[in-house]
Amino acid sequence: MNATKKTLLRSQELNCPSCVAKIEKALTALDGVEKARVHFTTGRIEVYHDPARVSGEDLVKAVRAVGYDAKVAAF
């Protein structure tokens, strides 16, 4: 059974398309992430992942590892 979950992250530091590429690459390299979409104009990062394999904190750490701050968005 597919347990894909969408997690939203926010980052206020995104200002160019190269930021998008770096973050998407870092996120999709994580085991359990199916897709990542970064919107640099809004700072919104959508990640589709298996929560049993990768947590929201793991996603934040991956973004921070490439030099950008991020937080799991509150709903």
The tens digit of pLDDT for each residue in 7-42 reads 999 998 788 888 899 999 999 999 999 999 999 889
Which residue in this structure is represented by tokens 């059974």?
1
Phi-psi region of 45 (alpha: psi -120 to 50; beta: other; left: phi over 0): beta
Q: Which domains does the chain have, with CATH numbers?
A: 5-72 (3.30.70.100)
Tens of pLDDT, residue by residue over 45-69, are 999 999 999 999 999 999 999 999 9
SS3 61: helix
Q: What is the pTM of this model?
A: 0.90
